[in-house]
Amino acid sequence: VRPPELSPFRVTSSAGYGLIADMYDLLVEFGEDLSPAPGLAESWDVSEDGLTWTYAIREGATWQDGQPVSAEDVRFTYQYIIDSHDPAYTGPAAPDGNDTDADGEADNVLSLFDNYLDLDGGFEALRIEEVAAPDAQTLTIRTSEPIATLAQIFIPILPKHVWEGRTFAEAKQPLAPEDIVGSGPYRVVEFQPETVIRLEAYEGYWGGRPHIDELIYQYFENDEAMVNALRAGDIDFIDSVPPTLAPALEGDPNITVNRASTSDFAELGFNSWAPTPERFEEEGCADCEKGPTTGSLGDPWLTRPDVRAAMAGLLDKQHLVEFALSGFGAPGVSIVSPLSETFHYAAPADDPLVFPAYNDEAGRAAARAAAEQRFRDQMAAIGFTDTDGNGILNVPDTAEAQAFDPQGAGGDWSLRLFVRDDDAEDQLAGDLMSGWFAAAGVDVDLERVPENPALYDATYPSASNADYDMYLWGWGPDPDPDFILSVFACDQINGWQDANYCDPEYDDLYRSSRSAIDPAERADIIRRLQDKVFHEAPYAVLWYTDTVEAYRSDRWEGFNPMPRSGGSLWSTLGLGPWGSRISAGPIGAAGPTPAPSLMPSQAPPSDGAPSDQPSGEPSASASAGASPRGEASPGPTGQPASSPTVGPSGLSSAAPPAGSSARPSATPSTAPGGGTGGGTDTGMVLAGVAAIAAVGAVAFIFLRRRRNDDDDEE
């Protein structure tokens, strides 16, 4: 969606996160390999017992109104969020009453950044004992237990002199441009939500003045208009080129196309919720006596990990990438992508959840037959057989099954699959998977629903009693895996979680990962967490999305991909003086700005295994920006029926299997450039003026080049 406002506490889209990144700094940024790097903190270290983190705040950083940045600003920002969760807080930021915001949440709770300050378990479980600023250049965070992630606090730092006294309820309201004061490389000067957002370079930025004078984000209603604007020179950069339109740009000598791997993923989610009465006493529900699953309106058999795993084993993820993404992606495995070499879990090829490998069409057919037989054998062991010969498995009709599933016992097994009605890739994938499930004996009703409110409400038990079976959605995780791992904790039901999975063993492991200061120990625990999610299958990760960017290389140079190997040119995380927002500029005026080296004392212990490459030669790491549900970084949109596909030699995606629908004809997409979001396209102009474009909600930026006073404006 288009970013409706620019408040740090309101942003929920990829486009909005990118804008916040232009205007605000983090305490610790991300370097060219997306590992922690100096931001407002020039260095940091942690005590031997893991209980005290100390950050050295850089001197000379200023707010965009000229006031100096100090450790007190950082302390204020973090304490402001913590206080909003404290039911006993009565300070100047407290709301006047107990009103709720538009989402039904108490207006004194700023929940967007809970995970980064250890608040995802609630204020009572908070392990941060004190955030202090003993002097202007020193910040300390003292904790009751080790917290391994305090060098990855993805929270924009706010100026105390601007925000002090602003209530928590006011913090959730849209900000006017004149009220936005950051310390980042750009400041907003014009904001028309349905038309244009204009930012100009901040002369006093601590990382050096950007080579680009202005960023102008504009909106497009469809992909074709956006791409034509780039070819005509009306804009300068597109941060999400639809794959079907990329070939036309690749042939233009004035345009450079960049294909970047990301850690953004799409998943098939299963309603895994088998809640206890105790949980309903805590959460509340409208119908606590409904069925043996105590409140969930989903199919009860999906609460069994073996059933979910059997379903996941039917998914030919390579075929999904070819068919739904035209090859612009990679088959999914774990919730942590292969870009994170330190943490990624790779399932063995002979794992029952891995679709059999193949090299050609004949091999694909044989692999499909083998997967279907394996599925039928697994379900027969549970009691599912086709008793009436109609090709659909029947739910067991034993006394035990009748007690477990009184409504379904003995009947055809039928499930619902929700896909977003504005996402072309999800609809293509849903068509394909429905056919696979039907061929294996599962009747699947594919329902196209709006993301908001239908999909959100369906996956929140407090809103709908978990009235869904399966869905397609996606995530754009942080470089560090902590946030995406937190999604599967029990306390995230009715929060970030949508599969409604709850396992005490997982919770214990997750808490251990957050306290593991030793990098090797933490990496091992994180892989064990992924193994558990993979095999219990609340999610089946379908693919990792590639993003395609294009810019006018006859005008601009100096773009730094992040990560350096195969990364994005305009990532949300392209922060600090080494990202494209600083390094890029007009031909002859810009060049790559090297990332500052981290001294050993600066490298946080939670950074995983150390790189074996020298400073200045970063290795590939995770590459996705921190984006909430449904707003992964931009990826491909829909494709025409005749579009070629990309895949292994001898393979094509011309026809889906029996039971799935044909590939639709191309129509202007209303989804954003992202394969996992919704909205209109935007672009970016880089310049003396320059522009970046994207469709739906992705921003279009004009870059305006630095010029002498006697230069003509371009």
Query: 424 and 290 share a domain?
Result: yes
CB neighbours (10 Å) of residue 599?
Answer: 11
Domain extent for 135? 41-182
CB 419 within 8 A of CB 324: no
Query: 393 and 513 share a domain?
Result: yes
CATH number at residue 56: 3.90.76.10
- Torsions phi, psi for 422 (to 5 deg): -115, 15
pLDDT value at position 290?
A: 34
pLDDT value at position 312?
A: 98
| Joined tokens for residue 450 | 């709006």
Query: 166 and 289 share a domain?
Result: no
| Joined tokens for residue 279 | 């949980």
pLDDT value at position 354?
A: 92
What does pTM read for this prediction?
0.75
Whether 130 is in a domain gets the answer yes
CB neighbours (10 Å) of residue 393?
Answer: 23
Query: 314 and 173 share a domain?
Result: no
What distance in Å separates the CA atoms of residue 260 and residue 623, rounded to the nearest whole number?
9
**Measured over all CA atoms, what is the biggest interatomic distance in the chain, rounded to whole angstroms?**
88
**Residue in 595, 375, 629, 347 with CA at minimum distance from that of residue 487:** 629
What distance in Å separates the CA atoms of residue 290 and residue 643, rounded to the nearest whole number?
47
pLDDT in tens, 201-240: 999 999 998 888 998 887 787 888 999 999 999 999 998 8
Whether 143 is in a domain gets the answer yes
What distance in Å separates the CA atoms of residue 665 and residue 328, rounded to the nearest whole number?
19
Whether 453 is in a domain gets the answer yes
Query: 175 and 273 share a domain?
Result: no
End position of a domain, from candidates 539, 558, 579:
539
Q: Which residues of the chain have pLDDT under 50?
A: 1-2, 101, 276-294, 574-575, 590-684, 686-714
Query: 298 and 433 share a domain?
Result: yes
End position of a domain, from candidates 160, 182, 204:
182
pLDDT in tens, 76-111: 999 999 999 888 888 888 866 555 545 555 556 788
Question: For the chain, how many structural domains are there in total?
Answer: 2
What distance in Å separates the CA atoms of residue 442 and residue 656, rounded to the nearest whole number?
17
End position of a domain, from candidates 539, 556, 573:
539
Whether 227 is in a domain gets the answer no
Whether 60 is in a domain gets the answer yes
Residue-wise DSSP of 648-705: STT---SSPPTTSPPPPPP----S-SBTT--S-EEEEEEETTEEEEEETTS---EEEE
Query: 175 and 282 share a domain?
Result: no
pLDDT value at position 69?
A: 99
**Residue in 158, 156, 191 with CA at minimum distance from that of residue 177:** 191
Query: Residues 434-437: contacts with CB within 8 Å, 24+ apart?
Result: 434/659, 434/660, 435/656, 435/657, 435/658, 435/659, 435/660, 436/314, 436/315, 436/316, 436/368, 436/657, 436/659, 436/660, 437/311, 437/314
CATH number at residue 508: 3.10.105.10
Query: 310 and 413 share a domain?
Result: yes
Query: 165 and 269 share a domain?
Result: no
Whether 91 is in a domain gets the answer yes
What distance in Å separates the CA atoms of residue 318 and residue 311, rounded to the nearest whole number?
16
Whether 321 is in a domain gets the answer yes
What 3-state class would DSSP assign to 449? strand
CB 433 within 8 A of CB 426: no
Query: 419 and 272 share a domain?
Result: yes
Whether 116 is in a domain gets the answer yes
Query: 174 and 48 share a domain?
Result: yes
Beta bridge partners of 548: 259
Helix (H) or strand (E) segment spanning residue 268: strand 255-270
Residue-wise DSSP of 166-185: --HHHHTS---GGG---SSS
What distance in Å separates the CA atoms of residue 38 and residue 143, rounded to the nearest whole number?
22
Query: 283 and 149 share a domain?
Result: no
**Residue in 550, 704, 696 with CA at minimum distance from that of residue 219:** 696
What distance in Å separates the CA atoms of residue 134 and residue 64, rounded to the nearest whole number?
24
